[in-house]
Amino acid sequence: MTASPTSAASTLAANVPAAATDPSTAAPPASAASGAAPVLSQRLRTETATQHERMHTLMAEGKPFADREAYARFVAAQYEFQRDVEHLFAAPELRAAVPDIDMRGRQSASQADLADLGAAVPTGPLATQHIGMPEALGWLYVSEGSTLGAAFLFKEAQSALGLTADFGARNLAAYPEGRARAWKQFVAALDATPPDVHDGAIAGANAAYDRFGALLRHHFDL
């Protein structure tokens, strides 16, 4: 891809409200200023940063924009991951924590992209059958956060492969609300959760990153 993770991060940071995406440059939240525990979004970002780097490495190795066949392998991984995540949407506790949950998720978008690309829809087992709150919140964090990086992947899918938000690259397109707004609302939901759910949410985020990493390795034959 043309956008390196570093340049992608700096470009995106210019487009997304700093308070939502870049705690290093944002004013510290009230809890941090008062010496209280950091909010959940901050902990997730800091404590899963190595996992995010690992995704960059796997994506670089998989070369999803080499051609449409390679890209379809990425979409197959995305579909399976989105299916895992959307399976959690029925859980009443998750719905209570994220009231706008129904506007999220990209399972059907990924499925339509696979059809556009003439690729089979994977039918492997769900990974989230036995996941509940608070781990579910961490799974959703990984999925929602990936919509930020997807801005760059979307551009690449357009320029390298000629795909669009209506053909092949639906899964990378912004939500109708816009990426920054949807992310900001999600971060607000994360940060409204009580401290006793935070460790579980971070464990869930690690499991979700592990799952996406395993899917990338599987579909890219890495």
Q: Which residues of this chain interact with ligand HEM, rule CB under 6 A?
A: 5, 8-9, 12-13, 16, 21-22, 44-45, 52, 55-56, 59, 141-142, 145-146, 148-149, 152, 212
> Which one, 112 or 180, has the nearer CB to ligand HEM?
180
Instruction: Name the residue nearer to ligand HEM (CB basis): 53 or 166.
Output: 53
CB of 171: closest distance to ligand HEM in angstroms?
Answer: 12
Q: Before 122, cis peptide (omega within 30)?
A: no
Residues found in the chain: 222
Which contacts (CB < 8 Å, 24+ apart) does range 130-133 have? 131/88, 131/204, 131/207, 132/91, 132/93, 133/91, 133/93, 133/94, 133/97, 133/197, 133/200
Residue with smaller CB distance to ligand HEM, 152 or 220: 152
146 vs 193 by CB, closer to ligand HEM: 146
CB of 179 to ligand HEM, least distance (A): 10
- Tell me which DSSP letter residue 91 carries: -
- State the burial class of residue 158 (Cβ atoms within 10 Å of its Cβ: 0-12, 13-18, 19+): middle
Least distance to ligand HEM, CB of residue 192, Å = 16
Task: Report the nearest approach of ligand HEM to the CB of residue 130 (Å).
Answer: 20
Q: What is the closest distance, in whole angstroms, from the C-beta atom of residue 146 to ligand HEM in the complex?
A: 4
- The owner of tokens 């392998």 is 73
Q: Please give the Cα distance from 169 to 66 (Å, whole number).
A: 15
Closer to ligand HEM at the Cβ: 22 or 199?
A: 22
Give the shortest CB-60-to-ligand HEM separation in angstroms: 7
Which residues lie below 8 Å from residue 35, measured CB to CB, with a gap of 6+? none
Instruction: Determine the Cα–Cα distance for residues 153 and 75; give it in Å rounded to an integer.
Output: 12
Using the minimum distance from each CB to ligand HEM, give the nearer residue, 141 or 220. Answer: 141
